[in-house]
Amino acid sequence: MTNHVERFAPSPTGLLHLGHAFSALTAFEAARQVGGTFLVRIEDIDVTRARPEFEEAIYEDLAWLGLAWEKPTLRQVDRFDAYKAVLDDLKSRGLIYPCFCTRKEINAALSAPHHDGSEEGPDGPAYPGTCRALVEDQARMSRNPYSLRLNMRKAIASLGGSGIIKKLSFKELGTGRKGKPKKINLDPDYLIDSCGDIILARKDTPASYHLSVVIDDAFQQITHVTRGQDLFAATSIHRILQALLGRPTPLYRHHRLITDDAGKRLAKRDDARSIRAIREDGGTLEDVRNLLGFRP
Ligand code: GLU
């Protein structure tokens, strides 16, 4: 069997819509064409928003879409120990720090006149750094909720500095010359000024999307990541985390976003475009495949 492992990694926080179907079908077909493997991973780290009924709906919709995957299905709630081990490692290397800021405090600091107004990263404006230099205070940590942030400058320094970071890259499938993969190099200024000290563990859940996705893509030996263009900017973060954690870098394919008739990107709240709604309206798999531009 070819070593080609794809995954579809939905969060069970709503119903799947056409955009998800496009990701899942693209990944599944790419694997099938070369006799590779297709996996599903349930990204349910957000325990406040994940719901068992949405997880059930995901399985039902994927089966309806004609997709089969290797079992058991990995669920991220079962991976909290693995995330903690990595966070402990990063802590012992002095690369993460606790942050007690509320969203309101961050917004206030960001709107202060001295803020430099750099381009936004994938998670919004870079964190202004309020808690970066705090001396570790165990008493405060036991009293107050905190997130864990990566000290981006230190992380870059620990890898050898900006010059080394510029040489790190990932490959984007099908976008280079003659449809070849295109090499995308990391930009240390973008990482520092736009992404900044990204969250690796949230106040309400012991990992962030960026951390868990990197650890689990490596754990599941994913060779090809297929996902929407909206996550392209996050891939620079994933690439530097892979370097910091000694994890391999898969190939990436960030596909076009599926929009509604008005050209607006589909979101989970657009229930009308959910696979379930299409199904309940009498839509067939063929309708969905046609709509998404898949050949029969
Ligand atoms: N769980 C993410 C989502 O549903 C996708 C993550 C990924 O494909 O890397 O948007």
159: left (phi over 0), alpha (psi -120 to 50) or beta: alpha
Joined together, the tokens standing for residue 121 give 């990263």
Residues 177 and 103 in one domain: yes
Using one digit for the tens of pLDDT, what is the confidence trace for 157-207? 999 999 999 999 999 998 778 889 999 999 999 999 999 999 999 999 999
Q: Do residue 73 and residue 60 come from a single domain?
A: yes
In testing the pocket of ligand 1, which one of 8, 16, 43 has its CB within 8 Å of the most ligand atoms? Answer: 43
Q: Which domain holds residue 155?
A: 81-219
Q: Within a domain: residue 151?
A: yes
Instruction: With respect to residue 142, please indicate whether it lies within any of the assigned structural domains.
Output: yes
Under DSSP, is residue 134 helix (H, G, I), strand (E, B) or coil? coil
Least confident of 62-71, 129-138, 271-280: 271-280
How many Cβ atoms from other residues are within 10 Å of residue 293's Cβ?
Answer: 9
What residues line ligand 1, using a CB cutoff of 6 Å?
9-11, 43, 213, 227, 231
Give residue 15's pLDDT. Answer: 95
Is position 252 within any domain? no
Cα(41) to ligand 1 centroid in Å equals: 9
Q: Under a CB-based contact definition with an 8 Å cutoff, are residues 271 and 1 in contact?
A: no
Which of 213, 220, 254, 257 has the most ligand 1 atoms within 8 A of CB, as the residue to mutate? 213
Q: What is the mean pLDDT of residues 55-73?
A: 97
Same domain, 99 and 205: yes
pLDDT at residue 273, rounded to an integer: 79
Nearest residue by C-alpha to atom 4 in ligand 1: 10
User: 99-151, pLDDT tens digit by residue?
Assistant: 999 999 999 999 887 777 788 999 999 999 999 999 999 999 999 999 999 99
Same domain, 12 and 67: yes
**49 and 100 part of one domain:** no
> In the predicted model, is pLDDT for residue 268 greater than 70?
no
Q: Sheet holding 199-201: strands in order across?
A: 96-99, 147-150, 199-201
Verify cis geometry, omega within 30 degrees of 0, for the bond prior to 128. Answer: no
Per-residue pLDDT, 113: 78
Mean pLDDT of 206-223: 98
Phi and psi torsions of 31, nearest 5°:
-70, -45
Q: Is residue 238 part of a domain?
A: no
| Number of independent structural domains in the chain | 2
Contact 82, 49 (CB under 8 A): no
- Cα separation, 181 vs 57, in Å, equals 34
